[in-house]
Structure 1
Amino acid sequence: MSRRISLPEDPENVAITDAEIVTSVRQRAGLLGRNDGPSDAHIVQGVRGFAREFTYWYGRVLEEAIPKFHNLVTSRINPMIRGMEYEGLPLAEVVRGLVGDYARRNYVTAGGWAIEQLAIAGSPRLHKSSAAGIDAEWHEAGATPVSNLYVIKSGTVTRNSDILKALKSHGQEAQKRLIQTNKKAVVRVHYVVTAGRRKSGYEDGVYRPSSAEFWAQAFALENEKEAVDLALAMSQQAGELLKQSDAATHIRGMESAVAAYLANPASPAQVDWEFLAQFNMLKDPELEKDHKNRLARAKAAVMKAGHKWPSGRKSKDSELASDLANAAASLSPEGSVDLLELLPQQE
């Protein structure tokens, strides 16, 4: 997750002050009165950064996905598989299941970006890397300076070999850049899984710290258990900020669109599985006409329910968010955390 784009302001939550964030996090983590590890400022930056990042990649993506509901949800329905799964169920229940699947995939992806932001913004050591394919750097001064390069993943992913191959290549390029300024510099490349790796290792030139070891490095804490507790406390505190998120509103908007599109005209409380099967498999002018009418009904339903229907020229940030939504829709929950591999590179 090495790309970064401009982010919106923190989610509005005037009820929670910076001082309250610090006190709550330190109490949760058992670090009240401690001077080691992240400063109070780093804790605030990590918590608010997590909430801001999650809001951007989840709430905004869902909002902009509403007018693309057909491409993201209904066009991807296999009527034979889903028809079997939802046989006999009413339209409302089917829609909740379909839209819920899509939202959960985005939730996992957004959480991955947010964890990376927490690790960097909340760390007294790490800073965002400018090297291609590298998420964060930590430079240790000394007679033989050490540059630690990190690729950060929120959890285990399926295409591990592809990621490691790219990581080693990026690490070699970064090393060439660093030794130009100091020929004694030592470069260490780290492949990090922020949760789920219990043992540290070293293989093929890549350090693979346990999840606990990474958080101890990031937070400059000697005790790995304390580092794990602090990471958990900061993410939980971010959850307090996110309670005012309007993501649920966007999900309801998506449900309105999907329901209007799938409804059987002869029995509006049921899914029109026959239309769905025929339209997704046949080329027919009458089916195309029906499809366009359903799209129009979907837009009208969203507007009538009081939800936004985003339109107009998009910014580059919006286009990237749309790319994210499209790619997330096609991924399994396990693969969605590796979404970076599917998005276009941004300079």
Structure 2
Amino acid sequence: MITTLCKGAAITVVTLYAVRKLVSYRWGVFTRHVDCSRLIVVITGATSGIGKATAEQLHLRGATVVLACRDVLKAKLLAEELRQRNEDTRVMSFTLDLSDFDSVDAFCRQCKKHLPRIDVLILNAGVAFCPYAETKQGLELQMGVNYFGHARLTLGLLNLLGKSSAPRVVQLSSSLYKLSKVPDRIQAITGEAHIHDVCQTEANYDSKAAYYDSKLAGMLFTKEIGRRFPSLICASVSPGIVATNLGRHRWSLYKWISLPALAVFSLLAVRTPFQGCQTVLFAALDDRVTKPYGYYRDCREEEVSKLQMNLLLCEKLFLATQEIFNHCDNAEQ
């Protein structure tokens, strides 16, 4: 009996391992040799998960890496760790809290003071599926951090990006953007835009919908930036399902799934941070990425929903975002 069970378990493990190898083969690995010794790369949320893996890979390739992180101590520890791995390259860390526009503005000033230019801006940081909370300026947290914080950061760093000979902006998105209803809210805006035209309120809050909306909004904004500034190469990236702290609230939404089933799903479908950062590296470095805007998954370009990514939506959200920034700035004066 025990022997039979052991054989069955062994067969199951071998089968699952073989299936994972087959599945992961399709995810893509960025293997091209790119000389990064002259690149200055800014990465938000670089102390853990995909951001940390991206920082490690770029640093190994010789890039100057700027860690843009809320946790100062973690950023300093990571910077020291990277220096020990490769003493010939530079790594810097500046404080950035995307839930506070004052912190975003201060970070941009730090970059202008210490950096001659920015070659690649990677918008990696984010929150997901969390309970309702607000940013310092009163925006729903997921939309405030994932979208508005990164949008303000990008606008604040455009001058430094403009000093690069081939600047790129890489926004981490998700294939879940397809479930977003934010286009309906954007189209419904008449007149001057206000916070709750784009963000959910506490009364109608849905954590999953807020995450979907923040990812599509980021894509719309990134596409519009690419249109307005032709020298930029802009990309949105879906890294797949990755084992990071970002998913800590997600799994609480699926308590009905048995632990064995969850374990099998994780084994077959969940990527490591190293695997998750491969398409980020592709979008940031590959010379085949040349369009003003593209959406990438598994180290190749994918088509996006034309209904959700039309130019009128991109422009309307961009203008609404600027109006909301103005409202927030005026409210603090």
Superposed pair shares fold, TM > 0.5: no
- Shorter-chain TM-score: which interval? under 0.3
Bigger radius of gyration, 1 or 2? 1
Higher helix share: 1
Q: Which has the higher contact order (CA 8 A, sep 6+)?
A: 1
